[in-house]
Amino acid sequence: MRASSEPPSTCMRVKAPVDTIFTSHQRLPSIQNDDKFYLQYDSSHSLTEQLLKMTILRNIDESSEARLFVRVLVVVLGVAILVPYLYFRAEGKGINRVPLPPTPPGNFITGNLSEVLAAVSKNQQHLLFNEWAQQYGEIVRVRSGPFVQYFINSDKAVKEIFDRNSAFTSQRPRWIASNEQICNGMNLLLLDGDHPRWKHQRKVTHNYLTSVPRADAGLPFLHFESAKFLHRVASEADITAMSGWKLYRSILRYTYSMFASQTFGLDIPEDDDQVIADIHETGLAQILQTLPGANLVDPLPILDKLPLVLKPWERRNRKRFTRDMDFVKEKLNRIRQLRARGVTSDAFLPLIEAENKGSEFGAGIDEAAYLSLMLVIGAADTSAVSTWSFMEAMLMFPTVQTKARRLITQMIGDRIPTYEDIDRIPYVRCLMKETWRWRPPVALGHPHITTRDLIYNEMRIPAGSQIHLNAYAVQHDPTRHPNPDQFFPERFENDLTTTMQSINAKDVRDRDHFAFGAGRRICPGYHVAERSLAVAIMRILWAFEIVPSSDARMPLDPLAFEGGMMPGIADKRMPVCFKLVSEQRREHINVAFEQAVSERRSMEPLVVEETGQGAFERLGFVNYDEH
C-alpha cells in the first residue's frame, strides 16, 4: 500500500565532464580533461543507476580503452564458461564430501544471473534473496556466471559464522579498483580485517569518535544541527510544499553537517551546498567499483600487472585519490591555522592533530585526514537513510505515529526533546529497534571472505568464499518476527536493551536486529547512530505530523518509491511532507534554535566560499516539482 508521484518521462543527454562536477580547489579538485564522464541523465532513474550508466558510457567513449575492453571480454566469457565446468567437475570428484549449501536452479553456465539482474533492475534484490532464504534455508548459494556468493539467512547461522568464526570471516574481497586505487588502501570499510591499518583505524575511530564518551561528546553537534533542521522546515511559508526531494535534501544537510562537525570541526550551513553532492558522489563511486562487473581488473587481476600506460582505469582512479587527498589536506591546513589562532574543536581530526597522534598512522596525519572524510561518507548517508525509513514507517502506519507523538508530548511538554529524554520514553527505543529491523540500511550486508572451510549444520562454505549477512532475510523471517512487513514497535516493548547490550546477548534469538552487522567487522559507529536516530525521532514527532504530500497517489504502495541508494530503501520520490503540530510549536522551535545559536561556539564552514544552485542537479539530484 504505497503511492508515488510519478517523475516526468523526459530524458536528456548531458555532457558532464568531471571538472564541471568538482569546481573548487577547496572542495574536491577536478580530474583533468583527458578523462571525462558523459552522463545520461534520466530523472526517472536513481542516482546509482545514473552513475553506473556514467561509468559505462565513459568506457565506451574512450576508444583506446574500448578496444582493450573487447579483447578482454572474450577472455571473461571464456572464464565464465570454464570456471563452472571445473567447479562442478571438482565437486563431482568428491574433494570434500560435506555438501555445499542449496542453490536455486539456474543455467549451467550463467547460474542465477538472469534472476539477479532482473531483481537489480527493479532494485528488489533484497526481496529475491529473502524469497530464496525462505525457500532454501539458513544458507543459500547463489551463482552468477563465475561469481559465487553465500547468503547467511538465520540468526543462529550469523552467530556461528560471523561471531564465533570471526577469525576466519573478517576479510574483504580484493577490490583492486576501489580499495587499492581509488582509496590507495586507506578506506576502513574496504580493508582486510587482519590488516594493521584496519586495526589501527578501528582503534582510533573508537577512541576519538564512536566510544560511549565520544558519542556523548558529539551530542552538542547533534542537538544544534537537528534544531537547525526543525527551524529550517518550520520557517517555510508553506511547510507542506517542502516534500520529497526538498525535504530529503534538508535531512542530508543536517546529517552531513553533523558528521562534518564531529570529524573536521567544520560545518555545512546550507541545504544546496555542493560539498554534500561532492562527498556523496565520492563514496558512491567507491561502492560502485566493488560491484561485480563494474570493472575488468577485479575479475582479471592479471591486468593489474600491465604497465600504467596501458591501464587508463588506474590512471583515472588514482586521480580520484589525489583529488580526495588534496581536499582533506586543505581542511587539515585550516584546522592548523585555527589552532594557531587559539580556536580549538572537540572533534576527531582536530583532537588527533592537537595531540600529535598523526605520526601513529602509516601514512602520517594525512591518513587521519583521509579517514575523517571516509567516516563522514560512512555515517552521514546511513543516518539520513535511517531517518528517511522512519518517516516512511510513520507515513505508512499513521496509528503508530499518533501513539508515539502522544507518549513523547506527555513526557516532554512544550520544550524541545534532547537525547537524555530517551530513558523517560521507552517507546522511542522500540521505534528505533523496529526501524532498523523493518528497513536495515544495508539489507544484504557488505561481503566478507572466508579464509578456511567452514562447516555449519552439515553444509560447507569453502575457503575463499564471499559471504553476506542477509539482514533483511533474518529480520523478515516470520518465525523470528511474526508479520515481518508490519511496522509494529510493540514487538520490542519488553526489550529495553541498548544496541551494544543486544549485540552481546547470550542467546542470539534475543538480539533485536542485525543492521550494524556482526563479528569483528560490526559497524563501530552504533553508539553515534543510536543517538542520531533517537534525537531525529523525538524531535520530528514532537514538532510535526508526517503526512502524504499533495501529489501522493492513494493508497500508498511501498514498491512505488523504493529505489534509493541501497536495496529496500525509499528514495527521494517518497510523497511525504510535514505539518506543524501547532503554531505554538513553531514559536518553541524558534526560541530553541535562537538559544542553540547563542550557546554554540562559532564554526567555519567545510567549504569557505559560496556555492550556487545546481550542484545536486549536475549529479542527478533533482527536485521533480521543478522538472
Q: Binding site membership for heme: which residues?
A: 523
> Cell 565513459, residue?
58
Rounded-to-integer distance, Cα 139 and Cα 145, Å: 19
**Which of 340, 328, 219 minimizes the C-alpha distance to 264?**
328
> Is 397:381 a contact under the CB 8 Å cutoff?
no
Annotated binding residues, as ranges? 523
End-to-end CA distance of the chain: 26
Reduced to 3 DSSP states, what percent helix, strand and coil does the chain have, rounded to the nearest 5? 55, 10, 35
Rounded-to-integer distance, Cα 235 and Cα 607, Å: 25
Task: Report the b/e string of 175-193 with b at 16+ CB within 10 A.
Answer: bbbbbbbbbbbbbbbbbbb
Q: Is 327 left (phi over 0), alpha (psi -120 to 50) or beta?
A: alpha
> Cell 521533480, residue?
624
DSSP states of 444-512: T---EE-SS-EEETTEEE-TT-EEEE-HHHHHT-TTTSSSTTS--GGGGTT----HHHHHT-SSGGG--
Distances (CA, A) of 49 to 86, 226, 373, 610, 620: 34, 30, 24, 30, 10
Residues 6+ apart with CB under 8 A from 85: none
C-beta neighbour count of 343 within 10 angstroms: 15
**Which of 338, 319, 341 minimizes the C-alpha distance to 330?**
338
Rounded-to-integer distance, Cα 615 and Cα 620, Å: 9
CA dihedral (328, 186, 375, 337) in degrees, to 10, reads -30
Distances (CA, A) of 410 to 11, 125, 338, 459: 50, 42, 44, 53
Using alpha carbons only, what angle is made at residue 346 by residues 342 and 350, rounded to the nearest 5 degrees?
A: 65
- Residue 602's φ and ψ, nearest 5 degrees, are -60, 145
Rounded-to-integer distance, Cα 284 and Cα 271, Å: 20
Cis amide linkage into residue 17, ω under 30° from 0? no
User: 571 is written with which cell numbers?
Assistant: 528514495
Rounded-to-integer distance, Cα 581 and Cα 366, Å: 47
**Which of 170, 166, 208 minimizes the C-alpha distance to 189?**
170
